[in-house]
């Protein structure tokens, strides 16, 4: 059996879709599962347990008829038996209908519903991974949503071991901080950045209470200015720049605590079950974190990240 899933969105959306893919693989163990994702999100599948191939397609770009035609050709050539679609656009639904895939499952309520063989109610009020997992009900699968899980390549685990040695981190654990945000979120004006001065108060408290506990700051491709500002106010911080998502996951897995904003690394921390305190501005933590006391979401009462005072974060950290 061959299965294809169309999954628009960024890396975080892909990770939240992993439980659905894993359940499909569990139900159809001999199946080959491919995904069609935006180019910016393909990196997520380095740590997927269940996907054979990730095919790039810019769902949100200004696609011409030729672009859709090329994608249609790719899908037809692979002769899929089942297609799942997270998007509700009529154009995507029509594309799937043209492929001739016999079983086409997606969410009800959008323009593409009429092109599906099974439309599943979209229940946005729940944790996003569970919302995505509802799609399998369109295949007659009625199992609980599994936890997010990842598979980290051995060479990425080895890299993380070497990186911890480079940073001088022993075996006593460390705190890892990811305070950045994707460039796309910034372009859209979504408030996901926790200010440097606020981080300063949290870091100073850690240094006073546990001066020997290493604090590692993650510098992603869009976080250079934030990380440099943090290093300037506290030269004892350690900085790491994992070159891919597997190595980042391995660094998060080795930490005792993850402090972060609403971001893809937050979902990776959930996957490896590192105790996490995540900060949210306008978004709802209940929709992006599972109901598990290992993962704490702190939401700004005003919707602005800057209004989360360091004391509120530290209270949750030391209470855990």
For the stretch 272-308, pLDDT in tens is 999 999 999 999 999 999 999 999 999 999 999 999 9
Q: Is residue 147 part of a domain?
A: no
DSSP per residue, 173-234: --EEEE----HHHHHTT---PPPHHHHHHHHHHHHHH-TTS-EEEE--TT-HHHHHHHHHH-
pLDDT value of residue 149: 97
3-class SS at 302?
coil
7, two tokens: 């999954």
Does residue 97 surpass a pLDDT of 70?
yes
33-67 per-position pLDDT tens digit: 999 999 999 999 999 999 999 999 998 778 788 88
pLDDT at residue 183 above 80? no
- pTM value is 0.93
Which residues are paired to 277 by β-bridges? 259, 296
CATH number at residue 22: 3.40.50.2000
Q: Check whether residue 89 and residue 193 sit in a common domain.
A: no
303 and 204 in a single domain? The answer is yes
User: Is 146 inside any structural domain?
Assistant: no
**Whole-number Å distance between alpha carbons of 141 and 144:** 9
- Which pLDDT value is given to residue 235? 84
CA 283, CA 287: separation in Å to the nearest integer? 8
Residue 163 inside a domain? The answer is yes
- The Cα 130–Cα 122 span in angstroms is 11
* pLDDT beyond 90 at 223: no
Query: What length is written for the chain?
Result: 320
Please indicate, yes or no, whether residues 179 and 230 belong to a single structural domain of this protein.
yes
Residue 63 shares a structural domain with residue 169: no
Q: What is the pLDDT of residue 184?
A: 54
Structural domain includes residue 144? no
pLDDT higher than threshold 60 for residue 182:
no
User: Which pLDDT value is given to residue 110?
Assistant: 82
Whether residue 107 is found in the same domain as residue 246: no
Per-residue tokens: 160: 């993380």
Q: 147 or 87: which carries more pLDDT confidence?
A: 147
Question: Which of 139, 169, 192 is the last residue in one of the domains?
Answer: 139
Show Cβ contacts of residue 55 under 8 Å, excluding neighbours closer than 6 positions: 34, 35, 36, 37, 71, 74
Same domain for 219 and 258? Answer: yes
Q: Is residue 145 part of a domain?
A: no
- Indicate the residue among 88, 108, 139 that finishes a domain: 139
pLDDT score, position 171: 78
23 and 76 housed in the same domain: yes
CB distance 175 to 256 below 8 Å: yes
Instruction: Tell me, yes or no, whether 182 and 75 share the same domain.
Output: no
Residues 116, 184 share a domain: no
- Residue 101, φ and ψ in degrees, nearest 5: -60, 125
Strand partners of residue 55: 36
Same domain, 158 and 134: no
Query: What pLDDT is attached to residue 189?
Result: 58
Range of the domain at 117: 2-139
Based on the domain organization, do 159 and 70 belong to the same domain?
no
Query: Has residue 172 been placed in a domain?
Result: yes
Q: Contact 282/264 with Cβ under 8 angstroms? A: no
92 and 40 in a single domain? The answer is yes
Could you tell me which residue, 224 or 115, shows the higher pLDDT?
115
Average pLDDT taken over every residue of the chain: 93
Domain count, the chain: 2
- What integer is the mean pLDDT of 218-246? 91
**Residue at which a domain ends, from 139, 163, 185:** 139
What is residue 111's predicted lDDT score, i.e. its pLDDT?
84
């Amino acid at each position: 059996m061959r299965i294809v899933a169309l999954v628009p969105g960024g890396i975080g959306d892909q990770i939240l879709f992993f439980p659905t893919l894993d359940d499909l693989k569990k139900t159809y163990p001999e199946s080959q599962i491919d995904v069609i994702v935006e180019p910016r999100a393909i990196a997520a599948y380095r740590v997927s347990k269940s996907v054979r191939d990730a095919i790039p397609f810019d769902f949100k770009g200004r696609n011409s008829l030729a672009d859709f035609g090329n994608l249609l050709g790719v899908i037809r050539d692979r002769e899929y038996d089942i297609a799942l679609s997270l998007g509700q656009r009529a154009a995507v639904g029509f594309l799937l209908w043209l492929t001739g895939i016999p079983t086409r499952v997606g969410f009800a309520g959008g323009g593409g519903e009429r092109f599906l063989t099974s439309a599943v109610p979209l229940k946005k009020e729940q944790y996003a991974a569970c919302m995505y997992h509802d799609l399998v009900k369109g295949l007659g699968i009625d199992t609980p949503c599994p936890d997010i899980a990842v598979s980290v390549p051995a060479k990425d685990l080895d890299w993380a071991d070497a990186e911890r040695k480079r940073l001088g981190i022993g075996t006593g654990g460390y705190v890892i901080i990811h305070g950045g945000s994707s460039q796309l979120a910034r372009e859209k004006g979504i408030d996901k950045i926790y200010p440097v001065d606020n981080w300063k108060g949290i870091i100073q408290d850690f240094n006073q209470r546990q001066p020997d506990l290493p604090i590692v700051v993650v510098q992603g491709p869009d976080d250079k200015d934030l990380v440099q500002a943090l290093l300037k106010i506290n030269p004892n911080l350690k900085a790491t720049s994992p070159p891919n998502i597997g190595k980042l996951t391995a660094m998060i897995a080795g930490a005792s605590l993850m402090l972060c904003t609403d971001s893809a690394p937050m979902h990776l921390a959930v996957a490896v079950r590192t105790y996490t305190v995540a900060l949210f501005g306008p978004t709802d933590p209940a929709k992006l974190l599972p109901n598990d006391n290992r993962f704490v979401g702190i939401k700004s009462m005003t919707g602005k990240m800057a209004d989360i005072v360091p004391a509120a974060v530290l209270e949750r950290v030391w209470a855990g």
